[in-house]
Amino acid sequence: MRSWSIHAGRIFGIDLRIHISFLFLLAFVWMTDSAGLGTEAIGRGVAFTFLVLASVLLHEIGHRLAGMRQNRHARPVLLMPIGGVRIQEEPDREMPDPRAELGVAIAGPLINIFLAFVAAAILIGISPESSLVQRPLVFAGNLPRSFVWVNVFLAAINFLPAYPLDGGRVVRAILARRMDPVRATRRAVSIGQGFALAFILLGVWNTWLMMIGFFLFLAAQLEDRHAVFHAVLSQVRLEDVMLTDFSTLSPADTLEDALHKAVHTLQDDFPVVRGSDMVGVVSRQRIVDALRASGNGYVQSVMNRVFSAAQSGDSLASAFRKLTSHGVTLLPVVNSGRLVGIITLQNLMHSMSLLAEAKRLRNENGQSSP
Ligand SMILES: [Zn+2]
């Protein structure tokens, strides 16, 4: 998903990414509005796209300011022409309270309504004869009027209960009171997809509606893939995927011994164990580097003493978080203080695919047996 967007900076502590769909918007505006504009069409199309981007950006700042008051964790935001989609890097363990979600959700559309009013007032103030309701309402040939209506429509679309847009987020929070967060998200996504389809069908009446439906469909799709990914991550326990057959080192091992051991295993990282206590973590690379730099020594002088451990009943989602956030490569899994397994990023990918295969075989056998 990352590859379909570009990083656009950080504002109020949120990472912003611009989704490729803004290019679709630009192409669409060029196609629909070029007839009446001649050579001006190219520049005006670009300017129009920037107006939409600016409106969506201000909308997101509205959410952020409301969220900051509630001390909410700031997720990276993917800017799309119909609003921002908050990127879920980890599953929601706890769904926000619907009322709190509503407070944050409503701030975005309110900014757009405010912008529309201010822009309309300025427009009428400057030239009282300018007609705000002249058709087409949104048209690259009239950028000030388009700005007013783009903001009106942004607010309107985001009031719909179409996940992952704002109204849909509130609906999801309400659903999550009756079911687990992953199911609530999937339910909300399918409602969002329903709206997307309706908009696309309404496209026979107005092509803008089709475009909105298309963007909404893309946004819902992004969320759906995340929801499925997180559903898997949160259901699998570490004991299902951890490596139980692994080598350990002792802090009193010499580096040469350690390297010798490392030759006979596929492991890249080793837990360092004294008796039954886990005391550190060291990588094969670290051993090689230390040997090269200062000759033979002991494992305890090069091992990393700061490491985080996981419990065998923890979900894969939490292990994934630990592995990716602290830049650690090995996660020891302990059960009542005893080291029972290890998780490495390398083994995780491998065991996930094995697990999926096993599940598939089980399903096939289940179906074929009478
Ligand atoms: Zn929003």
Cα 84 to averaged position of ligand 1 atoms, centre (Å) = 5
Q: What is the pLDDT of residues 37-49, one digit of tens each?
A: 778 888 999 999 9
Whether the Cβ atoms of residue 113 and residue 153 lie closer than 8 Å to each other = no
Over the stretch 55-64, which tens digit does the pLDDT of each residue have?
999 999 999 8
Centroid of ligand 1 to alpha carbon of 214 (angstroms):
17
**Predicted local distance difference test score (pLDDT) of residue 366:** 60
Residue 291 neighbours by CB distance under 10 Å: 17
Model confidence at 91, pLDDT cuts 50, 70, 90, reads low
Distance 164 CA to ligand 1 centre (A): 9
> Is 0.75 topped by the overall pTM?
no
Query: How far does residue 158's CA lie from ligand 1's centre (Å)?
Result: 6
Report DSSP letters for 245-283, one per residue.
S---B-TTSBHHHHHHHHHTSS-SEEEEEETTEEEEEEE
CA of 66 to the centre of ligand 1 (A): 11
Using the structure block, give the residue that is written with the tokens 């496209």.
203
CA of 32 to the centre of ligand 1 (A): 26
Could you tell me the distance, in angstroms and rounded to a whole number, from the CA of residue 190 to the centre of ligand 1? Answer: 18
- Residue 36: which pLDDT band, with cuts at 50, 70 and 90? confident
| Residue carrying the six token digits 């409301």 | 66
Q: Is the pLDDT of residue 260 over 50?
A: yes
Of the pLDDT bands very low, low, confident and very high (cuts 50, 70, 90), residue 363 is low
Query: Residue 337 pLDDT more than 50?
Result: yes
Mean pLDDT of 120-142: 85
Which of 11-15, 183-187, 191-195, 355-359 shows the highest mean pLDDT?
Answer: 191-195
Least confident of 54-63, 111-120, 352-361: 352-361
Distance CA 66, CA 64 (A): 5
